[in-house]
């Protein structure tokens, strides 16, 4: 139906502001003002316009509107890896705030090194957003500079960055909380599973969390034994490997603090496969309160994830609306220790069980 151009002017695509103007008997300028709630329109005119628009099922053309107004009504959200738990949580929260504000959300998932390079190289955001929200991406200063040159307000979640308003947590203090908890339980040998700098997407965080670990040990008057600090790749597998390393020590720790819940869970798997029990043989504490933590009863440090996204989005929207504030704001949200059943006082150890079958060969041996 209506496939022939001969069928007349009936189906002529979506109606434009001109149609509304004609129908309401006013100029298009007045329609524009009415629709956007600007002043200087009499109530009666406005209602007439609104009705006409509704009757025609009119929707403004974003393209035309943007071209004319030089505003995009869009926020670019840059995530290092949309598939990971943390980022998807933040993204969800950001999406909610932006929707509320009537802003479009243009998503950029860097995902891999090439994506990242291409992003900062070509700056695909240019001319298409009013603001940029960066989620937990450790930016090199060059990258930060490029971002600034975009010429629109920006904000960042999770990592302190020069020039950028930032919403984050205190990783040092959070880690210290976790370690203090273990100390208070009576542990003396506390290991740490940490993810070096291998993950460029969280830079800063690993270091901070390690710092918190050392700080808490120091405060407790415990010696910092470097052999108890083990690096692994990011994620469960890294945690599993690092844990295996620790187990291979002559005098393994009675408790470990993992940089992230993911690593903690990996560590728990190693322990399980080694025939060791959590927390009876080894206490484990994680960080983040990833959804998985509750499922495996992991003691952890909760950080407000969605809230960070919300705050950042609000911050950014404000900057977009009112211009960036002179001094970039910084919001630090609180963390909280969540005690579950993966941590308990150390057992008086009578005999350390020998390596059980299934225990991964410690990497140390491979070198």
Partner DNA sequence: TGCGGTCATGAAAACGCTTGCTGCATTCCT
Partner DNA sequence: AGGAATGCAGCAAGCGTTTTCATGACCGCA
With respect to a copy of itself, which residue has the nearer C-beta, 217 or 296?
296
Smallest separation (angstroms) from DNA to the CB of 53: 10
Hey, which residues between 91 and 130 contact a copy of itself (CB under 8 A)?
A: 91-92, 95-96, 99, 104-109, 111, 115, 123, 126-128
Tokens at residue 145, please? 């500079």
Name residues whose C-beta falls within 8 Å of residue 121's C-beta, 6 or more positions apart in sequence: none
What region does 138 belong to: left with phi over 0, alpha with psi -120 to 50, or beta? beta
> How far apart are the two ends of the chain, measured CA to CA in Å?
74
CB of 249 to a copy of itself, least distance (A): 24
Residue 60 binds DNA, judged by CB under 7 A: yes
Contact residues for 66 (Cβ-Cβ < 8 A; gap 6+): 72, 73
Does 37 bind DNA (CB under 7 A)? Our answer is no
Which run of H or of E encompasses 192? strand 190-194
Q: Which of 59-67, 173-181, 219-227, 305-313 is the region at the interface with DNA (rule: CB under 7 A)?
A: 59-67
Pick from DNA, a copy of itself, none: which does 115 bind, CB < 5 to 8 A by kind?
A: a copy of itself
Q: How far apart are CA 73 and CA 320, in angstroms?
A: 10
Q: What angle do CA 213, 219, 224 make, to 5 degrees?
A: 55
Q: Report, in Å, the least distance between residue 346 CB and a copy of itself.
A: 22
Cis-peptide into 367, omega within 30 deg: no
Closest contact distance (angstroms) between CB of 35 and DNA is 6
Those residues with Cβ within 8 angstroms of residue 32's Cβ, 6 or more apart along the chain or in another chain: 17, 38
Q: Are strands 336-338 and 300-302 parallel, antiparallel or unpaired?
A: antiparallel
Total residues interacting with a copy of itself, rule: CB under 8 A? 46
Segment 298-317, which members bind a copy of itself (CB under 8 A)?
306
The distance of closest approach from Cβ of residue 47 to DNA in the complex, given in angstroms and rounded to an integer, is 10
Asked if residues 258 and 228 have their Cβ atoms less than 8 Å apart, the reply is no
Interacting stretch for DNA, rule CB under 7 A, among 37-45, 221-229, 284-292, 293-301? 37-45
**30 binds, options a copy of itself, DNA, none, Cβ within 5 to 8 A by partner type:** DNA
The residue from 36, 99, 145, 272 that contacts DNA (CB under 7 A) is 36
Burial class (CB in 10 A: 0-12, 13-18, 19+), 356: exposed
Residues 6-25 that bind DNA (CB under 7 A): 13, 16-18, 25
Tokens for 24, please give them: 């309401």
- Out of 148, 160, 269, 340, the only residue in the binding site for a copy of itself (CB under 8 A) is 269
Residue with tokens 């099922």: 57
Shortest distance, position 43 Cβ to DNA, whole Å: 7
Residues 6+ apart with CB under 8 A from 176: 212, 213, 215, 216, 219
Contact with a copy of itself (CB under 8 A) among 88, 203, 207, 211: 88
In the complex with DNA, which residue's Cβ is closer, 36 or 277?
36
The answer to whether the beta carbons of residues 286 and 264 sit under 8 Å apart is yes
Q: Which residues bind a copy of itself (CB under 8 A)?
A: 14, 59-64, 66-67, 72, 77, 81-85, 87-89, 91-92, 95-96, 99, 104-109, 111, 115, 123, 126-128, 236, 265-266, 269, 292, 294-297, 306
Residues that bind DNA (CB under 7 A): 13, 16-18, 25-30, 32-33, 35-36, 39-42, 44-46, 58-61, 63-65, 67-71
């Amino acid at each position: 139906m209506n496939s022939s151009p001969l069928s007349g002017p009936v189906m002529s695509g979506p109606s434009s502001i001109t149609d509304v103007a004609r129908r309401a008997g006013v100029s298009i300028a007045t329609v524009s003002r009415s629709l956007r709630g600007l002043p200087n329109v009499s109530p009666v005119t406005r209602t007439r316009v609104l009705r006409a628009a509704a009757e025609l099922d009119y929707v403004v053309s974003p393209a035309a509107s943007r071209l004319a107004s030089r505003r995009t009504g869009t926020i670019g959200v840059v995530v290092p890896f949309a598939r990971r738990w943390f980022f998807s949580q933040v993204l969800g929260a950001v999406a909610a705030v932006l929707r509320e504000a009537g802003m479009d959300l243009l998503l950029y998932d860097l995902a891999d090194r090439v994506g990242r390079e291409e992003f900062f190289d070509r700056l695909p955001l240019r001319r298409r957003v009013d603001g940029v929200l960066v989620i937990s991406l450790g930016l090199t200063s060059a990258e930060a500079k490029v971002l600034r040159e975009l010429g629109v307000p920006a904000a960042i979640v999770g990592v302190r960055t020069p020039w950028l308003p930032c919403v984050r947590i205190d990783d040092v203090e959070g880690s210290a909380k976790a370690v203090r908890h273990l100390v208070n339980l009576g542990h003396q040998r506390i290991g740490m599973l940490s993810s070096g700098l291998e993950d460029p997407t969280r830079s800063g965080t690993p270091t901070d969390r390690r710092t918190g670990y050392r700080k808490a040990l120091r405060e407790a008057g415990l010696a910092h034994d470097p052999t108890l600090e083990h690096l692994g790749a990011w994620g469960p597998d890294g945690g599993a490997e690092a844990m295996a390393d620790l187990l291979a020590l002559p005098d393994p720790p009675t408790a470990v603090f993992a940089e992230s819940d993911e690593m903690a869970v990996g560590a728990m798997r190693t322990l399980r496969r080694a025939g060791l029990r959590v927390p009876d043989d080894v206490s484990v504490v994680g960080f983040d309160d990833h959804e998985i933590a509750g499922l495996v009863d992991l003691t952890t440090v909760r950080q407000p994830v969605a809230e960070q996204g919300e705050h950042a989005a609000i911050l950014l929207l404000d900057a977009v609306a009112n211009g960036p504030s002179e001094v970039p704001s910084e919001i630090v949200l609180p963390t909280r220790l969540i005690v579950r059943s993966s941590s308990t006082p150390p057992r008086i150890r009578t005999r350390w069980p020998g390596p059980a079958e299934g225990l991964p060969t410690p990497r140390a041996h491979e070198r």
